[in-house]
Structure 1
Amino acid sequence: MMRSVNQRPENTKVILQRLAEINRIIKPPPRRQQSQLAGTVPSSRGNSTPPPPPQPPKKSASSGTISGGLTRRQLINEMLYWVVFGVLIGLIILIGYLIRPLIFSLIKINWDDLPPLISGKELQSFDFDVVTVDSRGKENSRNRRQANFFTEDLGNGVMLEMVAIPGGFFDMGSPVTEEDRFDNESPQHPVDIKPFYLGKFTVTQAQWKAVAALDKVSRDLNTDPSNFKGDNLPVEQVSWSDSKEFCARLSTKTGRTYRLPSEAEWEYACRAGTTTPFHFGETITTDLVNYDGESSYGFGLAVEYREKTTPVESFQVANAFGLYDMHGNVWEWCEDHWHINYNGAPKDGSVWLKKENGVHSRLLRGGSWGNDPRNCRGANRFRKEPDYKSNFIGFRVAFS
């Protein structure tokens, strides 16, 4: 049997009162219809007084509406419409941002756009393995690829192998969703890269010794500067200025203009058509890269830290262009001056130099044996003064 209102619990009474209030707001009582003649007052003997001036709309206390305007419910519906509209626009922008790299990567590399043939040089081909890993660093694919290259004879059986890098364009920098990224990797921007040649490996100590023994162009070179010794180990303890002298002596010997790669060329060459933090995938392992393996990236595992450089090609895997050791082992000098972000960066892959005179820091890419994986990502950037030397730093040469 239903209780009377006075017998019901206090909280039930409150709820019923609230429901009644809501009902009055949503369904206000109908307004009284005014007479069409309400604005005029008849006068005696046929004379009439002019109608009073129109009054501003009056707010109804009972219904929460403005006379002649929108009801509260209509206002709420209007607000909900714009909220939903804003959310949909945000979702469209987010989806477009997320799928853009996937669409972009489909048209990234023009494999037929190769650098011109070198006079007096015959292009050869070589086979290599390209490996990808899953999010935990476990190998999930291995494919056999082929690339073209030519060699420079440096004397005494020492050869320099230069790989043909096809032209194309790519998104330089890292997306805001990339784990452990730095702000200086922004904004991502499309860059058009002309075909060029790049060293298959970083310059080795044997190659350094051969070129450092040539006649001086601008500055003296130490023929054996490296901390870790070995002909097939990468040369280190060389500054940006030293690497420029190496390129100058090599150019004089060969008659071809060798140089350091631009920062854009380096990242394009490292990615080789990929959009992940590493050309291997979402992480790296010490089975593929020489870095501080006591640290990990993403869902990868912390394993081994070698605490020294390793011979070039130690891991027997390359990226899709046929380049080895693009992540870890030694940092690699680039030609560009350091800039704090990519605002105003060239979009044609050219070297980006500051307009003002002075000594400016130069770019380093790729990470080293002493760095954690975060600093070995393809988008990561570092800088040092042009005469700075370290056993973490080497370089590779370019030619176009």
Structure 2
Amino acid sequence: MNNSVDNSIKNPSSGLTSNSIGMEFVLIPAGEFDMGSPMHEKRRKLWESPVHRVTIKKPFYLSKYPVTQEQWQVVMGDNPSYFRGEKHPVENVSWNEVQVFFSKLNALENARENNRIFRLPTEAEWEYASRAGTETAYFFGNDESKLREYAWFLENSGFETHPVGLKKPNPWGLYDIYGNVWEWVQDEYHISYKGAPADGRAWENLFPSISIPVRVRRGGGWNGNAGCCRSAERLFAAQDKRLNSLGFRAVWVI
């Protein structure tokens, strides 16, 4: 695989900024990458293929951490999480409820005349940011024994979430991109990448006859093994499903 990144942004983490409720964001550069897992990758799944080239044409901001319970509370006025803690990632929220969160957050920002738009990342944006220019199974290489340094997962989580930001970040300054909680993305789930968009946009409206679409989740959680935390790993859940291992992070559209 051959990843390429726009060299005009050499250090995305230097573009750190925040919104009105204190969510911190990292600037993710435009670039190209090969999405999916090659045949030789350990623990790979069939639905991570075929490997295909994706171009992210515009830079975007991605939240430095998963959205926390404190941030959810400010916007939504409640806390549905099973594992409580202000700095813990919010979980037990459906994809549908996440859309309401963004609608309210955007309204809040616009009321303050900030003219900002926030949304879920697309599946391609998520994997691109997770890889951070790398081509290996994990952004730190292929040695899964190092995962403990970067993620809370089945082997070290104690079967619960943890405050965000306690483990090492990826090369672009994103914390908990592996483990702690799985993360919703915008896309509907499909069993392969055949016909997937090559421009990084969300792949939706695949099965209009289905009353409750199935959405993609990424990154692994406190209850997943090391294989669930690979950059290419992808699972799914009905968009009205709530799980105490499933949260999300935010894109700030430039």
Kindly indicate whether residue 164 of structure 2 is the aligned counterpart of residue 312 of structure 1.
Answer: yes
**Corresponding residue for 2:252?**
399
Equivalent residues of 2:43, 2:227 under 8 A apart: yes
Q: CA offset at residue 275 of structure 1?
A: 0.8
Instruction: Report the alpha carbon displacement of residue 146 of structure 1 after superposing the two structures with TM.
Output: 4.4
Aligned to 1:334: 185
5 Å-filtered alignment, 1:10-21, equals: none
- Of 183, 188, 198, 1:347 maps to 198
Of residues 154, 165, 190, the one that matches 2:28 is: 165
Q: Distance in 1 between matches of 2:166 and 2:9?
A: 30
1:354 Cα deviation after fit: 2.7
Aligned to 1:82: none
In 2, Cα distance between equivalents of 1:363 and 1:179 = 21
1:366-385 alignment, distance < 5 Å? 366-385=219-238
* Counterpart position of 2:93: 238
Task: Indicate the residue corresponding to 2:5 in structure 1.
Answer: 109
- Cα separation, 1, equivalents of 2:236 and 2:206: 18
CA distances 1:223-279 after superposition (whole Å, capped 9, x unpaired) = 111111111000010110111111111111112221100000000000000111111
* Alpha-carbon distance in 2 for matches of 1:329, 1:149: 22
1: CA distance, partners of 2:124 / 2:173: 18
Partner of 2:190, secondary structure, is coil
Gaps of 5+ in 2: 111-115
Q: Distance in 2 between matches of 1:356 and 1:266?
A: 22
- Give 1:288 deviation, angstroms: 2.5
- Please say which structure displays the higher CA radius of gyration: 1
Counterpart Cα distance in 2 of 1:268 and 1:308: 27
How far is 1:327 from its partner?
0.6
Instruction: Assess, with a 3 A threshold, how the Cα gap between structure 1 residues 149 and 252 changes in structure 2: closer, same or farther.
Output: same
- Verify: 1:325 aligned to 2:189, yes or no: no
Greater length-normalized contact order (CA 8 Å, ≥ 6 residues apart) = 2
Structure 2 SS opposite 1:375: helix
Note the aligned Cα RMSD (angstroms).
Answer: 1.6
Residue 144 of structure 2 is aligned to residue 289 of structure 1: no
Contact 2:150–2:169, Cα closer than 8 Å, also in 1: no
Calculate percent identity across the aligned residue pairs: 41
Cα distance in 2 for partners of 1:260, 1:279 equals: 21
Give me the TM-score of the superposition, normalised by structure 2. 0.92
Determine the C-alpha separation between the residues in 2 that align with 1:225 and 1:187. 37
| Alpha-carbon distance in 1 for matches of 2:20, 2:126 | 24
> Is residue 201–residue 396 contact of structure 1 (8 Å, CA) maintained in 2?
yes
Is the aligned partner of 1:199 residue 2:91?
no
> How many pairs are equivalent?
243
- Return the letter of the residue paired with 2:160: K
How far residue 305 of structure 1 moved from its aligned partner, in angstroms, is: 4.5
**1:153 paired residue among 1, 5, 20:** 20
Show CA shifts across 1:319-351 (max 9, x none). Answer: 121111111100000000001000000000001
Opposite residue 276 of structure 1, the aligned amino acid is T
User: Alpha-carbon deviation of 1:147?
Assistant: 2.2
Query: Which one of the candidate residues 345, 358, 364 is aligned to 2:217?
Result: 364
Q: Are the counterparts in 2 of residues 149 and 163 from structure 1 also a CA contact under 8 Å?
A: yes
Please name the residue that 1:181 is paired with: 44
Residue number in structure 1 paired with 2:121 = 261
Aligned to 2:113: none
Q: Which amino acid aligns with 1:307?
A: F
Cα deviations across residues 296-323 of structure 1 (Å, max 9, x unaligned)? xxxxxxxx452111110012x2112111
Q: 1:190 aligns with which of 36, 53, 67?
A: 53
Give distance in 2, aligned partners of 1:354 and 1:244.
16
Q: Which residue identity lines up with residue 138 of structure 2 in the other structure?
A: F
Provide the rounded CA distance (Å) in 2 between the counterparts of 1:178 and 1:396.
26
Shift of 1:150: 1.7
Looking at structure 2, the residues matched to 356 and 309 of structure 1 have their Cα atoms a distance apart, in angstroms, of 33
Question: With structure 1 as the length reference, what TM-score do the two structures score?
Answer: 0.59
